[in-house]
């Protein structure tokens, strides 16, 4: 596997990839599992699975799990501090339809997520890495991530939701996704205002920043 933005922190994620399951408070070393993961075995049901990439302090994940008990959620986060904070929020609300993964998102998708098994990906306010020399680290500059998102989205109804306040990053993201032949841009859904906001979005809207959103659906070739 090659990754243009690799660094010590990135390889630390690969060496310590962990999953926290809320139904039994178990911390699982994913390196001991033969991939891909079995969602029914993990959650104990066959409900659809949605993934939030970069769940941060957990506001979106917690509210989504509360409002949609018939959906299983996975929050991927590369900060162990935030993984533990979100775990406490999920426990406080007694939510067991969510798991947390400490990992690099592209690596987790490539190695642990089964084909066509994800109902939706939520990527809200990914790190824009604004300095020119760091932009290779942007999530959507990693071709592995886009390829794996397409591979793992449900071929009948898979959706990808993106939001950012960073203008040039949004232009780049939309360009890359528009050029992905397996995805269809949904302009009306992209303009929808009835959705759960992350902590970042609430903060940025309070500051008067422009928020850019885009929603894509996998092409149904069945």
Catalytically active residues are 127
E-strand stretches of 5-129: 18-21, 26-29, 49-53, 72-77, 98-102, 118-124
Q: Are 38 and 63 in contact (CB under 8 A)?
A: no
Q: Are 150 and 82 in contact (CB under 8 A)?
A: no
Phi, psi of 141 (to 5 degrees): -90, -5
Q: Which helix (H) or strand (E) holds 163?
A: strand 159-164
Q: What's the maximum distance between 2 C-alpha atoms anywhere in the chain? A: 47
Q: How many CB atoms lie within 10 A of CB 86?
A: 26
d(CA 196, CA 38): 28
CA 119 to chain centre: 12
Q: What is the DSSP secondary structure assignment for residue 97, as one 8-state letter?
A: S
Q: How many CB atoms lie within 10 A of CB 120?
A: 21
Identify which of 68, 64, 74 has the alpha carbon closest to the alpha carbon of residue 98. 74
Q: How many CB atoms lie within 10 A of CB 111?
A: 19
């Amino acid at each position: 596997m090659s990754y243009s933005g690799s660094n010590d922190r990135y390889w630390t994620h690969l060496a310590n990839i962990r999953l926290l399951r809320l139904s039994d408070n178990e911390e699982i070393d994913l390196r001991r599992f033969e991939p891909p993961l079995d969602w029914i075995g993990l959650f104990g049901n066959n409900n659809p699975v949605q993934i939030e990439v970069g769940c941060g302090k957990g506001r979106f994940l917690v509210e989504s799990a509360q409002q949609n008990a018939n959906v299983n959620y996975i929050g991927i986060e590369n900060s162990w501090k935030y993984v533990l904070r979100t775990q406490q929020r999920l426990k406080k609300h007694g939510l067991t339809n969510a798991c947390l993964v400490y990992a690099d998102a592209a690596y987790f998708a490539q190695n642990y997520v089964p084909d066509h098994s994800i109902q939706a990906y939520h990527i809200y306010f990914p790190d824009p890495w604004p300095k020119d020399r760091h932009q290779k680290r942007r999530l959507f500059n990693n071709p592995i991530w886009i390829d794996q998102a397409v591979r793992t989205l449900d071929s009948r109804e898979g959706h990808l939701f993106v939001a950012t306040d960073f203008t040039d990053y949004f232009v780049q993201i939309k360009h890359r996704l528009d050029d992905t032949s397996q995805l269809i841009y949904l302009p009306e859904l992209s303009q929808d205002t009835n959705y759960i906001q992350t902590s970042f979005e609430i903060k940025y809207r309070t500051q008067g920043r422009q928020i850019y959103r885009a929603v894509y659906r996998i092409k149904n070739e069945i």
